[in-house]
């Protein structure tokens, strides 16, 4: 009889434990999340409060699998954009106006000449690059650059065919120009990628100065925007409609400062974007068609002088909040979601090249919220400009100092 009672008691306890683990309020703890402070320990520039928990300074996360970042080339000249070719090699833009092809062991081609000419002054030059989804058959390349035009410079998009001898771009054609032109050398934005519908997504900056800053909120200007066009440069079918009847039909989202990173979420296909803030307020945004992302009306940063920006507000109805922000800044540039199988715990993590941060960010994301942050290759002390995933499932990153890194399992 005692045995039967004990058995019933034990079974009852197991039932209770089982029901507890299935409770909707039970939250599993990622074993890689580290208790205590996050990776950022420096004091913020402001006392602004985030709009929700986990919007900034989340807990640190640590990769448990051994990996290494290896500099496989130091021969690039101010590289800015990198894209993986179908044969495993990498196509890289150089700010002064040429492209190079690199093997996965770091061997570099000679310069590939690109027409039209770029204006490389300041933050301008030959910028982001992507290849056509049908590159294997059509060899088409698309890129963003700062172009000299009447009235100054502007962010422009061009396309052309990589010659069979890989020494030039053939039939280069400018397909889109983001107006108005401005006589300045800052905040061109400059990334480009294909969305899942075969259209081009392009990021443009608001050109930095107080004279052009308000144009980020204007739907009749192409500055401070995410643009969606087809491969001929025309507004893509299905673009959102804005309330102003004079709104540019190529607009996808508005209210951006200097967006230098674009990436497609591997499961949803949504566009994620990185954006330079001023002094504080670097952002990661999950873009939705027709939305306003707030600059310069709301921001988590301040002027470089220390003065408040606008009304010093961080939230306003009708303006979108960033998924994540940094204060102090890291200057997030190119980025990519990891979809490889080399390091399983990196699956769907977002990797971001950080310039002033001199490291590569890894953000762990669940349900469109950041739950962990890791800093990689910080000891290299490099300004990381862009990062992509190669066809071999390794990550490849370029730096302003001319290095090409391969990041992979040890």
The residues, any chain, with a CB within 8 Å of residue 43's CB and separated by 6 or more, are 328
Under the banding of pLDDT at 50, 70 and 90, the label for residue 23 is very low
| DSSP H stretches of helix in 117-275 | 135-138
Q: List C-alpha distances in Å: 200 to 138, 139, 142, 273, 391.
A: 16, 16, 9, 14, 21
Pair 386, 80: CB distance under 8 Å: yes
Mean pLDDT of 357-370: 97
Instruction: Tell me which residue of 225, 215, 140 sits closest to 175, measured CA to CA.
Output: 140
What is the C-alpha to C-alpha distance for residues 400 and 403, in angstroms, rounded to an integer?
Answer: 7
Under the banding of pLDDT at 50, 70 and 90, the label for residue 32 is confident
Which tokens in the block code for residue 309? 């920006």
Choose the weakest-confidence range: 19-23, 190-194, 308-312, 327-331: 19-23
Q: List C-alpha distances in Å: 367 to 23, 352, 370.
A: 19, 19, 8
Structural domains of the chain in order of their starting residue, each with its CATH number: 32-409 (2.120.10.30)
Q: In this predicted structure, what is the pLDDT of residue 204? A: 98
Choose the weakest-confidence range: 36-40, 92-96, 169-173, 336-340: 36-40
What is the C-alpha to C-alpha distance for residues 406 and 261, in angstroms, rounded to an integer?
Answer: 19
Largest Cα span, the chain: 97
Query: With pLDDT > 90 as the criterion, what percentage of the chain qualifies?
Result: 90
Q: Is the pLDDT of residue 86 over 90?
A: yes
The CB-side HSE value for 186 (13 A sphere, CA atoms) comes to 12
Q: In this predicted structure, what is the pLDDT of residue 3? A: 37
The residues, any chain, with a CB within 8 Å of residue 229's CB and separated by 6 or more, are 157, 175, 176, 199, 200, 202, 235, 236, 250
Which tokens in the block code for residue 63? 């990769």
Under the banding of pLDDT at 50, 70 and 90, the label for residue 96 is very high
pLDDT tens digit string along 246-289? 999 999 999 999 999 999 999 999 999 999 999 999 999 999 99
pLDDT tens digit string along 282-313? 999 999 999 999 999 999 999 999 999 999 99
Q: In this predicted structure, what is the pLDDT of residue 15? A: 37
Does 359 participate in catalysis according to the annotation? no
183: exposed, middle or buried (Cβ count in 10 Å: 0-12, 13-18, 19+): exposed
pLDDT tens digit string along 172-203? 999 999 999 999 999 999 999 999 999 999 99
pLDDT tens digit string along 130-158? 999 999 999 999 999 999 999 999 999 99
Active-site residue (options: 187, 256, 276, 359): 187
pLDDT tens digit string along 215-240? 999 999 999 999 999 999 999 999 99
The residues, any chain, with a CB within 8 Å of residue 269's CB and separated by 6 or more, are 195, 196
Strand partners of residue 324: 284
Strand partners of residue 15: none
User: Chain-wide mean pLDDT for the chain?
Assistant: 93
């Amino acid at each position: 009889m005692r045995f039967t009672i004990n058995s019933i008691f034990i079974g009852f306890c197991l039932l209770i434990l089982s029901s507890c683990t299935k409770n909707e309020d039970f939250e599993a703890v990622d074993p890689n999340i580290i208790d205590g402070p996050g990776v950022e320990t420096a004091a913020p520039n402001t006392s602004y409060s985030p709009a929700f928990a986990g919007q900034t300074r989340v807990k640190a996360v640590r990769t448990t699998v051994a990996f290494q970042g290896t500099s496989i080339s130091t021969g690039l000249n101010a590289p800015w954009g990198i894209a993986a070719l179908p044969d495993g090699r990498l196509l890289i833009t150089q700010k002064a106006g040429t492209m190079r092809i690199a093997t996965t062991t770091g061997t570099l081609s000679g310069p590939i000449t690109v027409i039209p000419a770029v204006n490389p002054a300041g933050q301008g030059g030959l910028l982001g690059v992507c290849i056509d989804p049908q590159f294997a058959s059509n060899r088409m390349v698309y890129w963003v650059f700062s172009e000299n035009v009447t009235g100054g410079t502007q962010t422009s998009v061009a396309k052309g065919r990589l010659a069979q001898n890989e020494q030039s771009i053939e039939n280069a054609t400018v397909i889109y120009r983001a107006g108005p032109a401005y006589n300045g050398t800052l905040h061109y934005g400059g990334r480009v990628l294909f969305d899942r519908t075969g259209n081009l997504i392009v990021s443009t900056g608001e050109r930095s100065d107080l004279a052009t800053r308000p144009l980020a909120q204007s739907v009749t200007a192409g500055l401070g925007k995410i643009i969606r066009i087809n491969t001929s440069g025309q507004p893509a079918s299905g673009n959102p409609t804005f309330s102003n009847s004079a709104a540019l039909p190529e607009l996808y989202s508005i209210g951006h400062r200097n967006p230098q990173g674009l990436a497609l979420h591997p499961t949803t296909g949504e566009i994620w974007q990185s954006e330079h803030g001023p002094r504080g307020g670097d952002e990661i945004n999950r873009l939705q068609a027709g939305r306003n992302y707030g600059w310069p009306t709301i921001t988590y940063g301040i002027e470089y002088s220390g003065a408040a920006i606008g009304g010093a507000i961080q939230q306003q109805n009708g303006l979108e909040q960033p998924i994540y922000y940094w204060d102090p800044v890291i200057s997030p540039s190119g980025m990519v979601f990891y979809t490889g199988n080399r390091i399983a715990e990196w699956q769907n993590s977002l990797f971001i090249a950080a310039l002033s941060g001199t490291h590569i960010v890894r953000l762990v994301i669940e349900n469109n919220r950041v739950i962990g942050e890791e800093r990689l290759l910080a000891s290299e002390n490099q300004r990381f400009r862009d990062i992509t995933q190669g066809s071999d499932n390794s990550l490849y990153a370029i730096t302003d100092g001319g290095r090409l890194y391969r990041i992979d399992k040890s």
